[in-house]
Amino acid sequence: MNTFDAKKLARPELLELTPYQSARRIGGRGDIWINANESPFNNSDLDKLNRYPECQPPALINAYADYSGVKPSQIIASRGADEAIELLIRTFCTPGKDTIASFGPTYGMYAISAATFNVGVTALSLTSDYQLPENWPAEIGDAKLVFICNPNNPTGTIISKQDIEKAIASAPQAIVVVDEAYIEFSPEYSVADLLSTYPNLVVLRTLSKAFALAGARCGFMLANEAIIDLVMLVIAPYPVPLPVSELATKALSSDGIKLMREQVASLNQQGERLTQVLQQIGAQVLTAKGNFALARFKNVTEIAQLLTDNGIVARAYKDPRLADAIRFSFASSAQTNKLIDVLLSSKNT
Ligand SMILES: Cc1ncc(COP(=O)(O)O)c(C=O)c1O
């Protein structure tokens, strides 16, 4: 039997906390709203922009529930998945005492977010084929949160659903956070449907990648209600600006989802073209399951210089495990044409 109890993992002082009672949260009934020191003037085309928004706008939460197949009560909208990472750390980790665990090379914000809160990081390594190492549960000590990025940034590699499920079951006293920022590019690997089985699972999502809304800052945390209730104790009173929730709700309409899927298919095609050329010029390209490919080069300095000289800004890494690698985000067809021309010219230099 799973004895997971989210409250036992939470920072104990939070259990005593009464969250800030915003005017919006207290609410009321009537025609004259003078309870929040707002302006009575709306100077914008957006309805009610002079008013504070709902903490968790119902239209947005319902739209994400429809899209993800998760109940509205199991969703928190945040300022990007980055804020969701920070909220989890602030909810469950006591500064100077607790730790998180992650498997690298991976997305840097788990460790940075922990460090800004004086929370320790047990940084384990993925295996040489970018899978979870054997016996990792024995190595995470009392880590409260275990971050698994799938598809993984920056390698682009994937861990099977079966192995992720095994991981969730192997750490029943920790919260396993599966970061699915890139899942729209490999939707069959999502573990969101496992929320009903595992109370210690959290799934992170974002509209920054496949939904093309990085500038809007909108992400989601999916989890069971016990975890959601605790995170709601630390979230800001108004984390989702009104224009953002309107844009995001539109992106999650059936037309928006159709557009997203078309664009994902097109980006995957450009990714395949790029991968072929990278291989042709001798790079070792990892299986790309997100919207980017990580390529290892024998002559990485030369390639990096070639890209810079041609005004192409790709991502190189300081991590010694990635010293010979460059990450290429998939781009439009015209941009990919240009990139391919530049890469092929390296064969002639
Ligand atoms: C794996 C991963 N998680 C989360 C994020 C952050 O997403 P957001 O823009 O929603 O904060 C990124 C952004 O690059 C990412 O690569």
Query: Cα of 331 to ligand 1 centre, how many Å?
Result: 18
The pLDDT of 231-255, averaged and rounded, is 97
Could you state, in order of their start, the residue ranges of all structural domains in the chain?
Answer: 52-252, 256-348
- Residues 196-216: pLDDT tens digits? 999 999 999 999 999 999 999
Predicted confidence band at 22 (pLDDT cuts at 50, 70, 90)? confident
Q: Which residues sit with their C-beta closer than 6 Å to ligand 1? A: 80-82, 107, 149, 153, 179, 181, 206, 208, 214, 219
User: CA geometry: angle at 174 spanning 186 and 207, to 5°?
Assistant: 35
Predicted confidence band at 158 (pLDDT cuts at 50, 70, 90)? very high
Query: Cα of 225 to ligand 1 centre, how many Å?
Result: 23
Please report, rounded to a whole number, the percentage of residues in the chain having pLDDT higher than 70.
Answer: 99
In DSSP notation, 137-170 reads: GGGSTT-SEEEEESSPTTT-----HHHHHHHHHH
- CATH fold of 52-252: Aspartate Aminotransferase; domain 2 (3.40.640)
What is the reported pLDDT for 311?
Answer: 97
- Residues 297-324: pLDDT tens digits? 999 999 999 999 999 999 999 899 999 9
Exposure of 169 by Cβ count < 10 A (0-12 exposed, 13-18 middle, 19+ buried)?
middle
Exposure of 143 by Cβ count < 10 A (0-12 exposed, 13-18 middle, 19+ buried)?
buried
What is the reported pLDDT for 2?
Answer: 61
pLDDT of 1 > 90? The answer is: no
Predicted confidence band at 144 (pLDDT cuts at 50, 70, 90)? very high
- CATH fold of 256-348: Aspartate Aminotransferase, domain 1 (3.90.1150)
Query: Cα of 30 to ligand 1 centre, how many Å?
Result: 41
Average model confidence (pLDDT) across the chain = 96
What is the reported pLDDT for 329?
Answer: 98
